[in-house]
Structure formats: C-alpha cells, structure tokens
Amino acid sequence: MRAEKLNAAQIQDGVATLDAWTLDADHHIIEKTWTFDSFQTAMAFFAQAGAQAERLDHHPEFVSTYTRMRVRLWTHDVNGLTHLDFELAAAFDQLIAAEFSTRLKPSEPPCA
Ligand code: H2B
C-alpha cells in the first residue's frame, strides 16, 4: 500500500516529534546536517544510515562534505512527505544517539 501524502498540519505535527529537523521552503522536504569528528566517522554513519534506509525501503538524499553529512528526506512516489520520511528521520536520530553521540564534532553537544 503506497504511503499517503501528508498535509501541512500533519507535517507540522511530524516535525515537532523530531529532533531539530527543518522543513524546506516548499514544505515537502525535511533535512538535517551532522558534523562528525572525522571523515571516517561520517562514512561510518553513511553506511549505517544506508542500512536503515534499506530496512524501510525508503532512501534519502545524502550530501557528504568532509566531516559533514546532510540528509534530505521526501517520498519520491508522492513528491511530498509521508510517514516513511518521519520514521526514517527518527531512526537516524536514534542511530546518532546510540552509535555516534561521542563522535560528533566537539562543538556539537552529543544528542541527549
Ligand atoms: N525512497 C524514497 N525517499 N521515496 C520513495 O518513493 C521510494 C524510496 N520508493 N525508495 C521506493 C524506494 C520504491 O521505488 C521501491 C520500488 O520500493
């Protein structure tokens, strides 16, 4: 069953449940950027985040810039946001908290 496209209110509610993700101007993409302590750590996150994407069969846009990794999420099939975007965003936040909280750039406090 194809995931249903969320409306503006549902999107606002979804963003409120996440940890510091932002909406793009058109409100159909959510994004977050992490800065890691090294490129190697950023690549380790990429690999583990990729596994989460495969688990949900839902795939982000990743932009890697040295120690920074930017993730943007939307659902291609509906050209908007669905519950899958918020599910994967939450999974990434859980991954960061569980595996990378001590490997974020020193100026970035580890996720609570
Ligand atoms: N990822 C994202 N972000 N949006 C989609 O609509 C999507 C996906 N569709 N990953 C999936 C793959 C679909 O193409 C496969 C066939 O299940």
Q: Is the residue at 30 inside a domain?
A: yes
Could you tell me if residue 15 is inside a domain? Answer: yes
Whether 55 is in a domain gets the answer yes
Distance 96 CA to ligand 1 centre (A): 23
Backbone angles phi, psi at 90, to 5 degrees: -65, -40
Q: Would you say the CB of residue 77 lies under 6 angstroms from ligand 1?
A: yes
Beta carbons of 87 and 48 less than 8 angstroms apart? no
Specify if 35 maps to a domain: yes
Residue-range definition of the domain harbouring residue 93: 8-103
Give the tens place of pLDDT for each residue, 14-59: 999 999 999 997 879 999 999 999 999 999 999 999 999 999 999 9
Instruction: Confirm whether 72 is domain-assigned.
Output: yes
Order of strands across the sheet with 30-35?
22-23, 30-35, 68-73, 61-65
Prediction pTM value: 0.93
Q: Does 109 reside within a domain?
A: no
Residue 99 forms part of a structural domain: yes
The CATH code of the domain that includes 16 is: 3.30.1360.20
What is the tens place of the pLDDT at every residue in 57-100?
999 999 999 999 999 999 999 999 999 999 999 999 999 999 99
Q: If you measure from the C-alpha of residue 72 to the centroid of ligand 1, how many angstroms do you get, rounded to a whole number?
A: 14
Nearest-atom number in ligand 1 for the CA of 3 is 6
d(CA 41, CA 112): 19
Residue 1, pLDDT > 60, answer no
> Could you tell me if residue 17 is inside a domain?
yes
C-alpha distances in Å from residue 72, one per residue of 5, 76, 87, 107, 109: 17, 12, 13, 23, 22
Question: What's the domain count of the chain?
Answer: 1
Distance CA 64, CA 81 (A): 23
74 residue type, one letter? W
